[in-house]
């Protein structure tokens, strides 16, 4: 039986991600180290959810499980109606690349190539033609307000601009879900607010599902739901409407 809905607002759309009593246990020698302990959670298409908790609480591990970067060691996970545990490595990689875009605290950009070339890399790996790659790169850079800076290399860009490039790289594959692990963690508060405004525009105007991990209450309040996480478990949830309006063309 599926868990009762964790949303009190009736949801945004059909459940895209459903976790039932999910566990993730690592081992240090013969010692089991539980990182995720019995999490049941559902996330609908079109939601903007923040998993919030202190450092070491297991929230990044949970995000890795959701993004199919890590497999649960117990429980069940269905993604767009597909049972993740039943997938082989190749199928898991395919669905991960098709459904998810990833943004991390460290920007992970290649310093010797341009911003546009960094954004283009995932499309080259997919084997897309040059014209389609150019179209998608231009659109992704425009979405983050960085199209005029596409020819600059990462060392020529500010931290906030580098994070925008990383977001564009995540968007260029046209994912259904954007997963962000502490996306403002290396940024000052003003630049962090600009990144959150971009997220809210992507969610509010384009309907992109966003799941971010954060220990920042300010970042969390840009979303529509906060999942509080501690010691590998969900300890509570809040559903609300952001207090500030979505900024059309934020950061452009």
Q: Does some domain include residue 80?
A: no
* Residue 77 domain-assigned (yes or no): no
Mean pLDDT, rounded, of the chain: 88
Nearest to 212 by CA among 231, 230, 229, 191: 229
Residue 98 token pair: 């098709």
Asked if the structure places residue 112 within a domain, the reply is yes
In a 3-state reduction of DSSP, which class is residue 27?
strand
pLDDT in tens, 108-143: 999 999 999 999 999 998 889 999 999 999 999 999
Query: Are 48 and 203 in contact, with CB atoms under 8 Å apart?
Result: yes
pLDDT of res. 242: 54
Q: Which of 209, 159, 201 is nearest to 184 (CA)?
A: 159
Q: What's the pLDDT tens digit per position in 72-111?
A: 999 999 999 889 988 888 998 888 888 999 998 889 999 9
Q: Would you say residue 113 lies in a domain? A: yes
As averages over each run of 10 residues, the pLDDT of the chain (252 residues) reads 40 77 92 94 96 92 94 94 88 89 92 97 92 96 94 95 96 95 91 93 94 91 93 92 44 35
Structural domain of 180: 47-60+88-239
Could you give the number of structural domains in the chain?
1
Q: Are strands 74-79 and 15-28 parallel, antiparallel or unpaired?
A: antiparallel
Region for 68 from its dihedrals, namely left if φ exceeds 0, alpha if ψ lies in -120 to 50, beta otherwise:
left
CATH number at residue 98: 3.40.50.300
106 within domain boundaries: yes
Residue 67: inside a domain: no
Q: Answer whether residue 159 is part of any domain.
A: yes
- Measured between alpha carbons, how far is 235 from 240 in angstroms, rounded to an integer? 17
Confidence at residue 241, expressed as pLDDT on a 0 to 100 scale = 66
């Amino acid at each position: 039986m599926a868990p009762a809905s964790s949303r009190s607002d009736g949801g945004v759309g059909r459940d895209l991600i459903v976790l039932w009593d999910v566990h993730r246990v690592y081992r240090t020698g013969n010692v089991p180290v539980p990182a995720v302990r019995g999490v049941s959670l559902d996330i609908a298409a079109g939601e903007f959810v923040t998993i919030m908790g202190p450092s070491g609480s297991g929230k990044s591990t949970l995000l890795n499980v959701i993004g199919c970067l890590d497999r649960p060691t117990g429980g069940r996970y269905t993604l767009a109606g597909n049972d993740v545990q039943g997938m082989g490595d190749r199928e898991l990689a395919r669905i991960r690349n098709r459904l998810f875009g990833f943004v991390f605290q460290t920007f992970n950009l290649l310093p010797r190539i341009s911003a546009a070339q960094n954004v283009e890399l995932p499309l080259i790996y997919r084997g897309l033609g040059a014209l389609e790659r150019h179209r998608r790169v231009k659109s992704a850079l425009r979405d983050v307000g960085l199209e005029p800076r596409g020819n600059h290399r990462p060392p020529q860009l500010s931290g906030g601009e580098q994070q925008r490039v990383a977001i564009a790289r995540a968007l260029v594959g046209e994912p259904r879900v954007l997963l962000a692990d502490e996306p403002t963690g290396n940024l000052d508060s003003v630049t962090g607010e600009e990144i959150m405004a971009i997220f809210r525009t992507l969610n509010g105007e384009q309907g992109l599902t966003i799941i971010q991990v954060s220990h920042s209450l300010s970042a969390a309040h840009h979303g529509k739901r906060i999942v509080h996480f501690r010691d590998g478990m969900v300890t509570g949830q809040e559903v609300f409407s952001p207090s500030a309006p979505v900024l059309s063309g934020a950061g452009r």
